[in-house]
Structure 1
Amino acid sequence: MTTLPQKARVVIIGGGVAGCSMAYHLAKLGWTDILLLERKQLTSGTTWHAAGLIGQLRATANMTRLAKYTADLYVRLEEETGVATGMSQCGSISVALTSERKEELYRNASMARARGVDVEEISPTEAKARYPHLEIGDVVGALYIPRDGQGDPANITQALARGARMLGAKIVEQAKVTAIHQDKGRVTGVTAVFEGKATTIACEHVVNCAGMWAHGIGAMAGVPVPLHACEHFYIVTEPIPGLERLPVLRVPDECAYYKEDAGKILLGAFEPVAKPWGMDGIPEDFCFDQLPEDFDHFEPILEKAVKRFPLLAETGIHTFFNGPESFTPDDRYYLGEAPQLRNFWVACGFNSIGIQSSGGAGMALAQWMQDGEPPFDLWDVDIRRVQPFQANRTYLYRRSVETLGLLYADHFPYRQMASARGVRRSPLHEHLKARGAVFGEVAGWERANWFARQGQEREYRYSWKRQNWFDNQRDEHLSVRNGVGLFDMSSFGKIRVEGRDALSFLQRLCANDMDVPAGKIVYTQMLNERGGIESDLTVSRLSETAFLAVVPGATLQRDLAWLRRHLADAFVVITDVTAGESVLCLMGPRARDVIQKVSPNDFSNERNPFGTWQNIEIGMGEARAHRVTYVGELGWELYVSTDQAAHVFEAIEQAGADLGLKLCGLHTLDSCRIEKAFRHFGHDITDEDHVLEAGLGFAVKTSKPGFIGRDAVLRKKEAGLERRMVQFRLTDPQPLVFHNEAIVRDGTIVGTITSGNYGHHLGGAIGMGYVPCPGEAETEVLASSYAIEIAGERFAAEASLRPMYDPKAERVRM
């Protein structure tokens, strides 16, 4: 007789493929007392009706690493467990109907090769040879991945469950979790109802793998888990005589995918305008359920499919299926420990790619739980990227209309979400809008990305080539380099750290020396025990017991969680004050001329040198002027109370009118910083990247004892660097670099570009990336010949270990 235990080491909520993968991988690591609770039956939510496509190529290098692991796992799982998974490495073909899509596919191929994925760019004729029924009249290119495949989702899940049970995990169906318990910020147990009886189970860890129900499970714990279900459609044909085994076929320009299965074709869609479902909650008895058919909604996809796969015109439809899948606001799933609650973990929100993601996700999260830190950079899917407001159901409903279709949309650089916008706005939003700002969104913040000229349309025209704002960015960029520009950076995350122990607390967390006088600003990193970079920030000492940490808006929740996690018994208060101050960045060689017109304070190098701040009068208001820069020029970040921000903006704008002051957007901020080789967290530097190999050793003070990561820094100094961060400039001024392009050293791919933009001052595309160089001196690294592979074509590149722009940092100290 099955009963619920009184305690377990870990309780996993949800018996889909993600939950069973978690149980399997934790058991593989030797965990015991694993309890998986499923509210109905294994696979009964969304797993059972998944298409079961298993691809290896994802949008980024580490997501590709996880997907590749999944494919390899499913190949060996049947032999290990005795459960047939239906895994077939039949390969996959993705076809392009436009030159832009071809560029995207071929760029992805370059990235995939750098990560060890076997991939081939093939012609339309070669695609036809591998997929004889394909109409190729309008196909312009294709990608073939021979080790991609497909599997049986239900059987894969059962195999994972069998493997977990074989290693001692307990799986209980018909057990619904009704409460999550916590004490002092840490999870302590769950209550579950099984056979009509409620049982409270004490546990050390809880993992939310509840799929569509994960939002509600998160709410029980006070953890925002933003996702929303959408209707997802596919049809299955009648048997087609003589239909041979075929690769998986994706035609993203027609929003369609095709899977051959037992002589039938499954045709699925990711239509541009989706149908959200479950706004009022998911029915209590939902189990292996389907949603009502909506042939009118699916018909446009089918019409194109009949032309692409003419055999469909002669074949009957056996099944028209509509089932729910959950989607997140940014089409990336959630993994990791919730920042609000210790030992509450999430693995959910798989955006209809749960089968191909869950193997790698289970492995990575299990390792994270075991070691207390992720096995490699998982920022792409880290739950700490979530902003609390994103759990708002109206927001999720509106955003989910768009996100399903974006899976097969062109993944252009700089593409912006169109739905559920305007939630977080700077006090200067309307001022910037009136002056031509074209906004993008980061962490819910509306930020001016570029400024349109009078009469120019205020819309993005996306492309892999130069987009319609390229010349606008050039003008803004050169104004910052040669004159003066003004940025609204109110989206910076701002954290006050104060109290009796504030200094000792920050000395332990930060690699640089925080024991500086009030008025000083310190650039630093917070490291993990491996010397990897957990946070990249500036810290201003406000007084003997108060500091202000400034972080990127996108990482605010992550940084708050890291600080709070290490509080222990320190007498310190940590407060998010982001909304309290706006930030105006006045940057360029004429910045001092402008600010002296609106403020009586002394901005000389003697009174206000680089790396210091002062309280100032400005216009008729007040501000704190921080002399720092992220563009590599003389300038100030002006921290202004939000109620005075509009006035200060107007005063600066008026003062700069006859000095050529230009409003500038975030695209220009990025192009200027990359010329200066300033690192960007999440791209160039992550928790996987050692601070010395990132070239940031100047911000590490090993003479200071006791900070987290110090031992790892000393070990690396003694052992030597395995790789170095290198800045590249393409010698041909036409190609563009964004990220993930392959780095070629002496003819061999050795890595990928971590971030890229166009250097309008340097006259070419600029990229940064790590080059493996164990035991090599700097001169040896630079003696090689370098190229960057873009969509299969290689372009010569200059390489430098020093910033190509102003390598001695003379301009910031003018």
Structure 2
Amino acid sequence: MSLPEKARVVIIGGGVIGCSVAYHLAKLGWKDVVLLERKQLTSGTTWHAAGLIAQLRATKNMTKLAKYSQELYGNLAAETGVETGFKRCGSITVALTEERLEEINRQAAMARSFGVEAEPISPAEVKAKYEHLNIDGVKGGVYLPLDGQGDPANIAHALAKGARQNGALVKEGYLVTDIHKEGRRVTGVTWEDKNGETGSIEAEHVVNCGGMWGHSIGRMAGVNVPLHSCEHFYIVTEAIPGLTQMPVLRVPDECAYYKEDAGKMLLGAFEPVSKPWTLDIPKDFEFDQLPEDFDHFEPILEAAVERLPMLAEAGIHTFFNGPESFTPDDAYHLGLAPELDNFWVAAGFNSIGIQSAGGAGSALAQWMDEGQKPFDLGDVDISRMQPFQGNKTYLFERSKETLGLLYADHFPYLQKKTARGVRRTPFHHHLMERGAVMGELAGWERANWFAREAQEPEYQYSWQRQNFFDNVREEHMAVRQGVGMYDMSSFGKIRVEGRDAEAFLNYVGGGDYSVANGKIVYTQFLNRSGGIEADVTVTRLTETAYLVVTPAATRLADETWLRRNQGGFNVVITDVTTGEGVLAIMGPRSRELLQMVSPNDFSNDSNPFGTAQEIEIGMGLARAHRVTYVGELGWEIYVSADMAGHVFETLAEPGLEMGMRLCGMHMMDTCRMEKGFRHFGHDITSEDHVMEAGLGFAVKKDKADYIGREAIIAKQENGLDMRLLQFKLSDPEPLLYHAEPVLRDGEIVSYLTSGAYGHHEGAAMGMGYIPCKGEKLADVLGSTFEIDVAGTRVKAEVSSKPFYDPKSERVKV
């Protein structure tokens, strides 16, 4: 059958994810679905994948997608007649250190809150389930009985057949050589077949499922798809007499995984320092492997022979080295590309493509069909990637680390080591000179905490109190009792200006932006379901200009949301993030400090909470925004980049003399937790209704027309199904991070969306959504609550209001 001249969607790439997207679109009733594979289906990465299919991922929705994949693969054979080799053989992860044991026990607790069966087991129980394992040094394990394994190539072929059965056209031997665009839309593709014939297809949508080629396919469309191929090694033994089906075994402390397959054993590795391959993949690469590097793999094998003694007697049948693609943050790319309005991406699966492809393909198909995400996909939404992250040198350097991070200890606050120092704020060298310990977010180097003079300025990771715990406590208490200063320059800054600026923001946002110049509005941008797409402050600068301030990680996503909803409004949207540095001056003595360096009036009469004013400071000029994310009297000082160094020095000299502390992002997080301030991406997401998040006060419910208005009215009429509540442990010792199960009257009902230590309150604290349909708030608060911390239940106080300064009196003094 020849290719059509027009299609509703062209999918580029015939690996497991391309086949899944085609399958799910066709199942939704899409007609004219065309999948083009340059060589043969599965010939890039899918054919040599290990085929491990686990259920548990780091978040609820990623776990939901992985569980869906399992269910799908279990039923595909009956639907298509193609056997997928799917078996629920279970999996075991073992810990060789106390820190790893804490991690996997926390994962097991998290699994229970996500509805995944997970059982912590002793070393003896590990041995009983995996008789071949040498348990010397094993501290314990976690067993997931419903995990499994499958045949990667057959899974992809089954999906392709299912797509064809529902009307999709799946064609091999067609290389896409160009992608056509008009404005912010793709219009079609040009192809070349294996005989050198060429043609084109007009398309309403294009999906980049190109795997290792995803970066270059994106470049054809002007779309940034940051990923890089790495060499991935495994061996397959000769047949081992008497070897029967075993659970999948992971020994992350030795960087190894084991899978029994047809009487043979497969041993694979995620070594700490990996070998990047190339972004310029040979044109004829098909079912190929890379040269052997036994020296690189040998340390893994030596440890494996000790761990699984049977390997010493088994001959090696296959030594395999094949490339797989990895992204800068080890999360795959899914969704609508920020640069275009009908170009989609599903690529960069970081060695978990088989277990992810079913769910990812389903979620993307629903998104394409409905025009909005079916649930929060922020973990993998490609709009989280920054433009610079497509840089080839950056990707090469970062990929040396990302493969190994799959099996590294996933400590809280773990910072990446490679490809650092790309984005620096105007205050970077000032902070470094004063003991800043940097973290990285969206490429930005940000001071997370400050080391004392005799202290090593680096992280020492643990699941317990880390080496910066007391430093953060001191910074926290300085802000609560005196004054602290920290750098907020990395937060996104977007100017919205033009004659329709006020009307546009009143349409796209839930707040009221018909305010006086200098007024600051805390607000959300909502989707049609009342979910939160962005959590921002909007400052009216002039009659025709506003400044939207966003979290650093979502600046691109928030700008893209504005552009996609611009419609016919006459406005100009500009990213001005790097034009200004921002210093936050926070604490009960913040007014005193500012009055020492500026002639302006910072009193409540002249500069009440929620207003901004132009000021003189030192010998320079700045703009002072009276807002806070830490729950204290304070200002954010916006200063043009050229004057930033001068303003820092102007504030630091008198500030340090009066006892001011330089503070970091960890302090900001601990203070906002005490104050119950929500964190976007954790406590509030696109699937969390703004009113259930406790942010109804920020929505102007009687506004005539804005995105999400109908969902607000419906929620008012029907009542809340969930409430975001705050928790404080009764025991001051345990620590909370996120995803710990929440028990109400002894039953798991939810999990924490975020957690941190409240140094002023003297205990770990967290937030979480509690089901409450048809209940009064008093009934919910009258229940007994516990938090499951690594398998231990800890009693917790609960509140619908902040534990710290519930009436916000301190911010308005």
- TM-score, normalising length: structure 1: 0.99
Aligned-partner Cα distance in 2 for 1:543–1:777: 44
Residue number in structure 2 paired with 1:104: 103
Q: Deviations over 1:171-217 (max 9, x none)?
A: 11010001111112111111111231221100100000000000000
Deviations 1:33-58 (A, max 9, x none): 00000000000000000000000011
- The corresponding residue for 1:226 is 226
Q: Partners in 2 of 1:369 and 1:432 — Cα distance?
A: 45
Residue identity matched to 2:264: K
Output aligned runs, 1:267-666, within 5 Å. Answer: 267-279=267-279, 281-666=280-665
CA drift of 1:465 comes to 0.6
Aligned to 2:36: 37
Q: Indicate the residue corresponding to 1:87 in structure 2.
A: 86
- Could you say what secondary structure the match of 1:381 adopts? coil
Residues in 2 aligned to 1:589 and 1:90: alpha-carbon distance in whole angstroms: 59
- Other-structure match for 1:203: 203
Alignment of 1:66-85 (within 5 A): 66-85=65-84
Superposed CA deviations along residues 659-701 of structure 1, whole A, max 9, x for unmatched, are 2110000000000001000000000000000000000000011
1:115 Cα deviation after fit: 1.3
Structure-2 residue corresponding to 1:256: 256
Task: Give the superposition deviation at 1:616.
Answer: 0.1
Shift of 1:513: 0.4
State the Cα deviation string for residues 713-752 of structure 1 (Å, max 9, x = none).
1100110000100000001000000001001111011111
Of residues 192-201 and 253-262 in structure 1, the stretch that sits farther from structure 2 once superposed is 192-201
> Deviation at 1:291?
0.3
Which whole-Å CA distance do the structure 2 matches of 1:411 and 1:29 have between them? 38
Give the CA deviation at 1:657: 2.4
Distance (whole Å) between structure 2 residues aligned to residue 432 and residue 519 of structure 1: 30
Cα shift at 1:59: 1.3
Query: Deviation at 1:116?
Result: 1.1
Determine the C-alpha separation between the residues in 1 that align with 2:452 and 2:769: 38
* Distance of 1:267 and 1:657 partners within structure 2: 57
CA distance in 2, matches of 1:354, 1:284: 23
Answer yes or no: is 1:813 the counterpart of 2:800: no
Task: Indicate the residue corresponding to 1:685 in structure 2.
Answer: 684
C-alpha distance in 2, partners of 1:28/1:184?
31
- Give distance in 1, aligned partners of 2:640 and 2:439: 23
Question: Which residue identity is paired with 2:196?
Answer: G
In 1, distance between residues paired with 2:183 and 2:302? Answer: 58
| Cα offset, 1:137, TM superposition | 1.6
Partner of 1:668: 667
Q: What amino acid maps onto 2:39 in structure 1?
A: K
User: Separation in 2 of the partners of 1:80 and 1:145?
Assistant: 27
SS at match of 2:692: coil
1-structure distance, mates of 2:415, 2:605: 44
**3-state SS, counterpart of residue 633 of structure 1:** coil
Alignment TM-score, normalising by the size of structure 2: 1.00
Whole-Å Cα distance in 2 between the matches of residues 508 and 570 of structure 1? Answer: 10
Counterpart residue identity of residue 369, structure 2: Q
Residue aligning to 2:794: 795
Partner of 1:60: 59
User: SS of the residue aligned with 2:584?
Assistant: strand
Post-superposition Cα deviations, 1:593-621, rounded to whole Å, max 9, x if no partner, equal 00000000000000000000000000000
Corresponding residue of 1:246 = 246
Alpha-carbon displacement from aligned partner over 1:423-443 (angstroms, at most 9, x marks no partner)? 000111011001000000000
Task: Write the letter of the residue equivalent to 2:676.
Answer: A
Amino acid corresponding to residue 266 of structure 1 in structure 2:
L
How many angstroms apart in 2 are the aligned matches of 1:494 and 1:198? 45
Tell me by how many angstroms 1:803 deviates: 0.6
- Equivalent residue letter for 2:206: V
SS at match of 2:563: helix
Deviations 1:464-500 (A, max 9, x none): 1100000000000000000000010100100000001
Distance 2:461 2:752 in 1: 21
Aligned length: 812
Paired residue secondary structure (2:602): coil
Distance 1:416 1:242 in 2: 45
**What is the CA-CA distance between 1:534 and the residue it aligns to?**
0.4
SS of the residue 2:642 aligns to: coil
Taking the TM superposition and a 5 Å limit, the aligned residue runs for 1:769-780 are 769-780=768-779
**Cα distance between partner residues in 1 of 2:141 and 2:566:** 53
Distance in 2, matches of 1:481 and 1:401, equals 42
CA offsets, 1:635-672, max 9 Å, x none?
Answer: 00000001101100000011212321100000000000
**% of aligned pairs identical?**
68
Structure 2 spans left out of the alignment, 5+ residues: none
Letter in 1 for 2:737: F
Q: Secondary structure at the match of 2:753?
A: strand
Find the residue that maps to 1:345 and give its secondary structure.
strand
Deviation string for 1:537-570 (max 9, x for gaps)? 0000001110000000100010011000011111
Distance of 2:723 and 2:289 partners within structure 1 = 53
**Which amino acid letter does the alignment assign opposite residue 271 of structure 1?**
E
Amino acid at match of 1:235: I
Structure 1 residues 71-220: aligned runs within 5 Å: 71-194=70-193, 195-220=195-220
Give, as a single letter, the amino acid of the residue that structure 2 aligns with 1:108. Q
What residue identity is the alignment partner of 1:213?
Answer: W
What secondary structure is seen at the aligned counterpart in 2 of 1:575? strand
Give the match for residue 6 of structure 2.
7
Q: Distance in 2 between matches of 1:672 and 1:451?
A: 16
CA distance in 2: counterparts of 1:779 and 1:312, whole angstroms: 61
Q: Deviations over 1:309-332 (max 9, x none)?
A: 000011110000000000000000
Q: Secondary structure at the match of 1:431?
A: helix
User: Partner of 1:704: helix, strand, or coil?
Assistant: coil
Q: Which amino acid aligns with 2:70?
A: A
Distance in 1, Cα, partners of 2:649 & 2:134: 59
Partner deviation per Cα, 1:58-106 (whole Å, 9 max, x = no partner) = 1111111111111111111111111000001000000011111111111
> How far apart, in 2, do the equivalents of 1:315 and 1:667 lie?
50
Structure 1 unpaired stretches of 5+ = none
